[in-house]
């Protein structure tokens, strides 16, 4: 009662303040003694006064928003501190439906008006190249271009370079896939280590030689196996510019399926490794093999302080268009950027491939003659039947003239007279003979060309950054700045076709089992990082660090590298050999198990009320895992909690940075179960049977579902015990539709069950927000009606099957080449339907031969209840050259436009283009896709990356799995025949749009609503339920953990709280300048900064050496925050959750409960560059869409 009074008083205060503020606004605007009637003509002074009044009104609105936000925090604090949780005790109504009483806690939606302006777009100048417009305008006609088959004839005059010589940089490189045809380890053993060993010796033979490397995963493995002498040589080669590490990521990642958390994490892992071991900071990006390119990558590279980048795999028609318009080099800008702060200079390679025949110029027949690995007698030759010839004094003039002609033609496609010519291919330079053949022959050609002044050419070996530096110098700008006349581009480069109608859109879905496992590992890594960092900080604060397993840091490092490895463009893509996929799977599972251990250890420490009682025992963990997997290719099996009369405890971890009200489902050994809160209050629960098939219950295993409110990034505690509580334990009722099939159905006295032998009438499920109709025949969704609307919205689902062509070219791991439009899925038998209804959730399960479709409706306020939870358990292991798709039909007038996310970071508008084949209209969907009209938006959220399209107005279509029996001639040499039983998880969200929210000038950008962002996070980061292994534990021993003192604004996402590696100092004899690292004496001296050390700054020494302990964390962590862009144009009434925005401001100093931020320094994305001096101020500001990294110490 006391709580209700407090809430009522505060609610009244909110109302009074709001009304009084509005009164003041109106009073100030109306009260103007100088105002007079003038017949509608406003003097300039009056307009000025009016402008001032408008500004005052805006300011008052903001002040009112802040006042309400403060009152909201106070109310929430009062309700949060009230004893006992709100008891949501459902009751059954006369019309046969369950009602859950309203949550007594108030909910707030307080959005700053200024925060809504971002999604409306600014008035900034549009870029010259908007990729959506380019694709709409291009004919995609594929005219034969002659020797450059996908291009055109190039002409030039020999005098074109009289005023300014052509400067040519030939860049030797070797593209090493960390797994594809061979496993990562096998590639390393058989090829990569030989490439890198030869690199050290061969580059030292001539200081004019250069080499480019990209994959740090391979480099790190090699580094661990070489001696100190060779390491020193490598550092010298890096220091004098002969060896460049480009991009510096753990891998060269796929840009279609990878989530931005994983993209950032592998970039940090690579950059931190390079800084630690080589003292190098990458300057240029190199992406020659990802199958299409996302604008997320240039954003991340720019925020990591890279200034330039290169891409290769772009649709051949776009390359031709860009070549013809001299647009192959451009400033790549993000669509929301109004001040060019995201610009990065990008070079697009113009021709078919990154191999030698397609890099020196437009004629591969000639360029192949300058790939000296193909000299006669070798294992590979030129397909054009004209072999290379060794360069001699006798033929050097003729060979140089032939090569220079290609260089000149290629240079005519660019705006500057600086030319980039890559020289390499996959796993090149693995034998000393190739190093000699390439370097000796090219050096002879360079020497000749450079000795002929009348040719006006200067040719040399170079690195990628050598090329960009020369270009900037020639164009007269600073590195990374926009050269005069170069275009600005925004948008992406999906979908990719390398020839004809061969679109690489199949890999958006290929091997979805591992795409799903990737995201499970990612969610666990983020959760483990955050809990570990918090546990270590609290243990250090309490003086118990020596008792805590700090060495779990090594498990985090391994998991980071496993997740990073799987972002490789032949891993998450599903385009590797079967044995390689299995190797990835074993690595993913091993790291997943390790991360569960890290989470268990951290949760154990943090949930103890008395930290002094903490004892780490790796042989007998305090907590059990939430689930287990028997093998890398099996689905998880949830842990069953065996009940006794004494309580069993369960610790619940919420990895979201917002408080969540979620339905937690646990498996228990008896339907006679009582569930209590942390302080012993009984909770209402829904008891359900556990089913092993459409008609069979699992014996002695039951599901108990309980709504639980969990603190942001925190831990909650439940008690379970054997016992009957008819008032709080509410059973589910079940109907099974057999459709005439003679099947026996399991029964249990605890659960009412009704069998419907026949009948096809539609039926509905409902909650407080919506009524959802299903087909009685198919069990699939038909329509949704919001409770505040009369009209139903058609949301009709069906399964479809694509075949592949009968011609030579067929679908494979990379390519989607369907034999026409999809055909309806026709099951052998009608589906068995099982409808479960209960107080907290109801669901429909449709059992088809190849897919089990589950649609669940939660009867809860907030995010859980506002969308439909869906899962498709797919098994197509008996398919032959077929792909299974799920299509949603609606009445939304989408006008051939749909929207897909890029890497979970941003949303890209798409247009269905009739001029392109069906397969060209599919795009990657890592997180969501939506269609909309002026009234509605329907969003399909996904927990795993899949391919998506909208082939007709009002439709969304997703490919669930593909089984293909043949290779598609892109080098893999296998089809897709290793399919697994795969569970694809989704959330379907229907939102009402408010009128007049269209951005003038067409949809170049779009943003999800805040509700959509939260729905996506609920799906991607489910709560973890960790049973306490020790059954007898006194209740007061466990206490919920609330790590945040105040909630983050709901447009902020705490992307990571990443533990950094400790550095331990020693002082051996050596000779170096004081305050520098002796390891780096050949480079520019790197100051030893105090914040690099685990135990404070080192004492003064004449020389310092750094020993890294890979298993221990530093006293500092990396905090990575993302402020999301969102659309206020979606209705936000009665959402049932708390949400406040703050115009991008966050007070980090008061964010963590019980911990002070003793040190805060903004850095570049990957922590290599400090952006400001360490400061005592902990208030930060972020623009919408920005990601920011901070180095901080929690104390």
Render pLDDT for 863-880 as a digit per residue (tens, 0 to 9): 999 999 999 999 999 999
- Smallest CA-to-CA distance from 709 within 661, 745, 776, 670 is with 661
Q: Are 85 and 681 in contact (CB under 8 A)?
A: yes
Query: Collapsing DSSP states into helix, strand and coil, what is residue 628?
Result: strand
**Angle made by CA atoms 400, 406, 407, in degrees to the nearest 5:** 85
Q: Which residue out of 254, 265, 289, 657 is catalytically annotated?
A: 289
Peptide bond into 206 cis (omega under 30): no
Q: What is the pLDDT of residues 134-175, one digit of tens each?
A: 999 999 999 999 999 999 999 999 999 999 999 999 999 999
Q: What is the pLDDT of residues 311-339, one digit of tens each?
A: 999 999 999 999 999 999 999 999 999 88
Distance of CA 808 to CAs 45, 536, 966, 969, 971, Å? 77, 59, 11, 10, 16
Q: What is the pLDDT of residues 975-1007, one digit of tens each?
A: 999 999 999 999 999 999 987 655 444 567 999
The predicted pLDDT at position 997 comes to 54
H or E stretch at 64: helix 44-81
Stated length of the chain = 1195
Query: Collapsing DSSP states into helix, strand and coil, what is residue 286?
Result: strand
- Smallest CA-to-CA distance from 266 within 581, 588, 565, 514 is with 565
Query: Collapsing DSSP states into helix, strand and coil, what is residue 1181?
Result: strand
Q: Are 726 and 798 in contact (CB under 8 A)?
A: no
Distance CA 784, CA 770 (A): 7
The predicted pLDDT at position 758 comes to 78
**3-class secondary structure per residue, 457-485:** EEEEECCHHHHHHHHHHHHCCCCCCCCCC
Decide the pairing of beta strands 1179-1181 and 1145-1147: antiparallel
- Smallest CA-to-CA distance from 741 within 830, 608, 845 is with 830
Q: Report the predicted TM-score, pTM, of the whole model to 2 decimal places.
A: 0.91
The predicted pLDDT at position 23 comes to 45
Cα 112 to the chain's mean position, in Å? 27
Q: Are 720 and 675 in contact (CB under 8 A)?
A: yes
Distance CA 417, CA 459 (A): 12
Distance CA 16, CA 13 (A): 5
Structure tokens at 803: 């075949």
Query: Collapsing DSSP states into helix, strand and coil, what is residue 991?
Result: strand
**Catalytic residue check, 289:** yes
H or E stretch at 755: strand 753-756
Low-confidence ranges of the chain (pLDDT < 70): 1-88, 94-96, 104, 106, 122-124, 996-1003, 1030-1036, 1064-1109
Structure tokens at 141: 């006609």
Q: How much of the chain, in percent, has pLDDT values that exceed 70? A: 87
| Alpha helices (runs of H) in 306-363, residue ranges in sequence order | 316-324
């Amino acid at each position: 009662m006391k709580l209700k009074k407090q809430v009522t008083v505060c609610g009244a205060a909110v109302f009074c303040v709001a009304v009084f503020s509005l009164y003041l606004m109106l009073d100030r605007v109306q009260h103007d003694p100088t105002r007079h009637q003038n017949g509608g003509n406003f003097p300039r002074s009056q307009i000025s006064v009016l402008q001032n009044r408008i500004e005052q009104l805006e300011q008052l609105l903001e002040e009112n928003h802040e006042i309400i936000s403060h009152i909201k925090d106070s109310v929430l604090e009062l309700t949060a501190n009230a004893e006992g949780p709100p008891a949501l005790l459902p009751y059954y109504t006369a019309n046969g439906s369950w009602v859950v009483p309203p949550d007594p806690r108030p909910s707030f939606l307080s959005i700053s008006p200024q925060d809504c302006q971002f999604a409306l777009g600014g008035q900034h100048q549009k870029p010259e190249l908007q990729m959506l417009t380019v694709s709409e305008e291009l004919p995609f006609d594929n005219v034969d271009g002659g020797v450059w088959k996908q291009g055109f004839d190039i002409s030039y005059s020999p005098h074109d370079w009289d005023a300014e010589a052509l400067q040519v940089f030939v860049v030797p490189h070797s593209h090493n896939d960390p797994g594809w045809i061979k496993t990562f380890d096998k590639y390393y053993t058989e090829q990569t280590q030989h490439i890198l060993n030869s690199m050290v010796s061969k580059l030292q033979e001539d200081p004019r030689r250069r080499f480019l490397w990209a994959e740090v995963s391979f480099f790190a493995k090699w580094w661990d196996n070489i001696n100190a002498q060779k390491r020193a040589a490598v550092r010298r080669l890096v220091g004098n510019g002969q060896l460049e590490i480009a991009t510096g990521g753990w891998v060269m990642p796929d840009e279609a399926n990878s989530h931005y958390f994983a993209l950032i994490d592998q970039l940090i892992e690579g950059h931190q490794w390079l800084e630690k071991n080589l003292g190098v900071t990458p300057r240029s990006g190199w992406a020659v093999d990802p199958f299409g390119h996302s604008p997320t990558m240039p954003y991340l590279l720019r925020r990591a302080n890279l200034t330039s980048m290169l891409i290769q795999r772009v649709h051949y028609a776009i390359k031709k268009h860009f070549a013809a318009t001299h647009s192959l080099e451009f400033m790549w800008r993000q669509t929301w950027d109004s001040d060019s702060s995201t610009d990065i200079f990008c070079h697009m390679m113009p021709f078919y491939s990154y191999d030698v025949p397609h890099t020196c110029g437009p004629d591969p027949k000639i360029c192949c003659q300058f790939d000296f690995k193909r000299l006669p007698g070798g294992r590979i030759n030129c397909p054009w039947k004209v072999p290379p010839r060794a360069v001699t004094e006798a033929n050097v003039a003729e060979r140089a003239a032939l090569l220079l002609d290609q260089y000149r033609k290629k240079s005519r496609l660019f705006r500057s007279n600086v030319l980039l010519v890559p020289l390499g291919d996959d796993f090149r330079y693995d034998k000393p003979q190739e190093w000699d053949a390439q370097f000796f022959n090219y050096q002879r050609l360079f020497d000749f060309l450079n000795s002929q002044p009348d040719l006006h050419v200067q040719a040399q070996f170079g690195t990628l950054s050598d090329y960009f530096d020369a270009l900037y110098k020639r164009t007269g700008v600073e590195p990374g700045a926009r050269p005069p006349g170069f275009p600005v581009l925004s948008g992406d480069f999906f979908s990719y076709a390398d020839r004809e109608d061969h679109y690489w859109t199949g890999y958006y879905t290929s091997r979805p089992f591992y795409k799903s496992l990737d995201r499970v590992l990612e969610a666990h890594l983020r959760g483990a990082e955050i809990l570990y960092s918090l546990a270590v900080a609290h243990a250090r604060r309490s003086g118990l660090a020596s008792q805590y397993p700090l060495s779990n840091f090594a498990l985090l490092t391994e998991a980071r590298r496993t997740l990073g490895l799987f972002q490789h463009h032949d891993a998450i893509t599903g385009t590797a050999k079967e044995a390689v996929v299995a190797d990835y799977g074993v690595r993913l599972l091993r790291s997943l198990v390790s991360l569960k251990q890290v989470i268990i250890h951290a949760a154990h420490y943090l949930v103890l009320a008395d930290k002094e009682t903490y004892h780490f025992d790796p042989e007998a963990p305090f907590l059990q895992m939430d689930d287990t997997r028997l093998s890398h290719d099996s689905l998880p099996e949830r842990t069953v909690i065996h009940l006794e009369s004494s309580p069993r405890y369960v610790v619940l971890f919420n990895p979201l940075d917002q408080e969540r009200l979620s339905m937690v489902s646990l498996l228990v050994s008896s339907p006679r179960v009582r569930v209590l809160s942390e302080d012993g209050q009984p909770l209402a629960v829904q008891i359900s049977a556990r089913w092993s098939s459409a008609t069979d219950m699992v014996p002695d295993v039951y599901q108990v579902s309980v709504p639980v409110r969990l603190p942001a990034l925190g831990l909650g505690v439940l008690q379970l015990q054997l016992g009957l509580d008819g008032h709080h334990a509410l059973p589910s009722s079940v109907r099974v539709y057999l459709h005439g099939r003679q099947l026996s159905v399991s029964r249990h006295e605890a659960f009412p069950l009704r069998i419907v032998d026949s009948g096809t009438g539609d039926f509905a499920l409902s909650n407080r927000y919506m009524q959802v109709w299903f087909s009685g025949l198919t069990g699939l969704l038909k329509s949704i009606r919001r409770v505040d609307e009369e009209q139903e919205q058609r949301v009709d689902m069906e399964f479809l099957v694509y075949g592949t062509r009968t011609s030579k070219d067929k679908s494979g791991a990379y390519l989607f080449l369907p034999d026409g439009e999809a055909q309806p899925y026709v099951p052998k038998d009608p589906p068995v339907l099982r409808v479960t209804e209960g107080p907290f959730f109801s669901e429909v399960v449709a059992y088809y031969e190849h897919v089990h479709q589950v649609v669940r409706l939660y009867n809860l306020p907030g995010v859980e209840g506002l969308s439909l939870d869906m899962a498709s358990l797919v098994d197509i292991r008996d398919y032959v050259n077929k792909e299974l798709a799920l299509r949603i039909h609606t009445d939304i007038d989408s006008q051939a436009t749909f929207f897909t996310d890029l890497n979970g970071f941003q949303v890209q508008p798409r247009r269905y283009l009739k001029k392109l084949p069906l397969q060209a209209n599919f795009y990657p969907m890592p997180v969501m896709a939506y269609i909309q009209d002026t009234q509605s938006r329907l969003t399909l959220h996904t927990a795993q990356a899949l391919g998506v399209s909208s082939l007709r107005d009002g439709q969304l279509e997703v490919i669930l799995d593909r089984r293909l029996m043949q290779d598609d001639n892109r080098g893999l040499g296998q089809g897709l025949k290793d399919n697994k039983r795969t569970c694809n998880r989704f959330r379907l969200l229907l939102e009402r749009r408010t009128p007049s929210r269209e951005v003038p000038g067409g949809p170049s950008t779009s943003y999800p609503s805040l509700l959509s962002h939260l729905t996506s996070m609920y799906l991607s980061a489910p709560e973890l339920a960790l049973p306490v292994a020790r059954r007898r534990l006194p209740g007061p021993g466990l206490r919920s953990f609330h790590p945040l003192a105040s909630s983050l604004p709901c447009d902020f996402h705490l992307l990571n709280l990443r533990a950094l590696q400790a550095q331990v100092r020693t002082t051996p004899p050596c000779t170096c300048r004081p305050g520098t690292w002796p390891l780096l004496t050949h480079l520019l001296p790197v100051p030893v900064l105090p914040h690099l050390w685990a135990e404070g700054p080192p004492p003064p020494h004449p020389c310092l050496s750094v020993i890294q302990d890979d298993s221990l964390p530093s006293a500092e962590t990396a905090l990575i925050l993302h402020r999301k862009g969102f659309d206020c144009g979606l209705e936000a009434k009665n959402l049932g959750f708390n949400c406040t925005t703050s115009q991008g401001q966050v007070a980090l100093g008061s964010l963590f409960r019980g911990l002070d931020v003793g040190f805060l320094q903004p850095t570049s994305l990957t922590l290599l560059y400090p952006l400001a001096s360490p400061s005592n101020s902990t208030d930060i500001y972020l623009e919408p869409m920005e990601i920011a990294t901070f180095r901080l110490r929690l104390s």
